[in-house]
A = this chain, B = another copy of it.
Amino acid sequence: MSQTLSAQLRLRDLILSGELQPGERLSEPSVAERLGASRTPVRAALVRLAEEGLVKAIPSGGFAVNSFAEEEIHDAIELRGTLEGHAARLAAERGAPGGTLAEMRRLLVRMDEATTPPISEDGFTDYVALNAHFHELLVEAAGSAVVARQIGRVVALPFASPSGFVLAQAVLPASQRVLVVAQEHHRAVVEAIEHREAARAEALMREHARLARRNLELVLHDQDSLRLVRGGVLIRRRGWA
């Protein structure tokens, strides 16, 4: 593995785990020493993380760990809904590959299994992976590299991704009902794409993202569950320091 990629992955981990605090300046020499690489690959890694959004370029040069206002995450999730709606609409209008749809249906079954009460902790973990895969397949079904790239950029922020709040749901009381609704959305969007119901497919994915918005609000008022959100430490909450 290249030093650049290694630095990128390890830095991302340090940031998302909260080991590097939001606002903290990341000087190239200090990061280089910490990661045991030279400045050149560290700089390249910082540029890529800036593109992802985890790190912000300082006007006078250099980078600092980024933080996110609740409103920004709200907007990012809603934007994901619009983009996934766009993808679902394209898939319905243009027709999706049969293999992709078949695999989406297989995932539906496995997600049902993982979330059959009583749900174990492993069940939630499985669901997170299956859910992420389902959303990837939806993008694939649209058959557009341009759209896939754009969605990939929005989803790069972990709390804007389709699975960002699922693990936190595990400790939230209303979690099971939310999962039932989410699964219904999944099922319905596959059906809509199959039947070439473009408007329905689009509306479903928009509404689907709203579940994440609701989870965001719930999680932000529950310290314990917030800890389960990857990158949750980067969120600036309203009325907090």
Contact = CB atoms under 8 A, between A and B. Distances in A.
A150 B146 CA distance: 13
A145 B75 CA distance: 9
- Tell me if A's interface is mostly helix, strand, loop or mixed: helix
Nearest to A154: B150
A147 B81 CA distance: 12
A144 interface: yes
Interface range for A: 10 to 19
- The oligomer's copy count stands at 2
A97 B75 CA distance: 18
Interface string A41-53: 0001001000100
A124 B151 CA distance: 34
A184 interface: no
Interface in A109-158: 144-147, 150, 153-154
A6 interface: no
A44 B147 CA distance: 26
